[in-house]
Amino acid sequence: MKGVLLAGGTGSRLHPLTRITNKHLLPIYDRPMIAYAVEALVQAGISEVMVVTGGTHAGEFLRLLSNGEDHGVGRLLYAYQDRPGGIAEALGLAERFVGDDLVLVMLADNVFGRSIRPTVERFQEQAKGGRILLAPVAEPEHLRHLGVPDLGADGRVLRIVEKPADPPSQYCVTGLYCYDPSVFEVIDRLEPSERGELEITDVNNHFIADGQMSYDVLEGFWGDAGESIDAYYAVNDHVRRFGANLP
């Protein structure tokens, strides 16, 4: 199973901190943000990783991570997204790297309190389709800014709704997605959204419509450190007090 870390974007929601660097290079407690994402994959047993980034600070990832050896990565590659084209487009850049393997895609500004290994192992047993990780969110106003699953009476995901005015559940889709290699065929057929990007929600809804999407519900902390300045510092505070990627 391969791992793809998405570390592009302009980081506009973290201005002015991101005027001089990529948000994924900002510190979370005592390490750069992306170090926690790399650690999450390595602890889950994924040793081959590609980092997809962009913008004017892409070279800093090479300086920080080098060939990945110091971070426990067996094989580390890089790809460059030359324009804001969406999460699905960024994943598409990893097609040759992934090949015929399963792939875990993670937004590198997501920080998990506990190991993601259980989701990885369940998906390896599943071996086809997709698998996502949901997190409970108590505040409806927060859900209105996230991707929210609509769950059926039997617990299956019926669809994922982006930024719903009336959230259909009390869960959000975190930035961790597992797919079989057919995901790249799905991406090739996507049409850009109104904002001109290839949306990962469209990818997920494709697998849902085909009856090939499973999910786990997160236990423990999850934070999107790139969501806002307040969220960034909330993640910092949690990691400082409790750590991240714990067994």
pLDDT in tens, 120-144: 999 999 989 999 999 999 999 999 9
Who's near 158: CB < 8 A, 6+ residues apart? 149, 150, 151, 152, 208
User: At residue 186, does pLDDT exceed 90?
Assistant: yes
Q: Tell me the whole-structure pTM to 2 decimals.
A: 0.96
Domain ranges within the chain, ordered by starting residue: 2-242
Who's near 239: CB < 8 A, 6+ residues apart? 28, 29, 36, 111
pLDDT tens digits for 44-96?
999 999 999 999 899 999 999 999 999 999 999 999 999 889 999 999 999 99
Q: Taking all residues of the chain, what is their mean pLDDT, rounded to a whole number?
A: 96
Tokens 């609509």 correspond to: 150
Do residues 223 and 93 lie in contact, with contact meaning Cβ atoms separated by under 8 Å?
Answer: no
Neighbouring C-beta atoms of residue 213, cutoff 10 Å: 24
Task: Report the pLDDT value the prediction gives residue 204, as an integer from 0 to 100.
Answer: 98
Task: Report the pLDDT value the prediction gives residue 10, as an integer from 0 to 100.
Answer: 79
In terms of Cα–Cα distance, which of 54, 61, 42, 59 is closest to 2? 42
Who's near 67: CB < 8 A, 6+ residues apart? 73, 76
Task: Report the pLDDT value the prediction gives residue 38, as an integer from 0 to 100.
Answer: 98
User: At residue 158, does pLDDT exceed 90?
Assistant: yes
In terms of Cα–Cα distance, which of 146, 132, 114 is closest to 227? 146
2-242 folds as Spore Coat Polysaccharide Biosynthesis Protein SpsA; Chain A (3.90.550)
User: At residue 205, does pLDDT exceed 90?
Assistant: yes
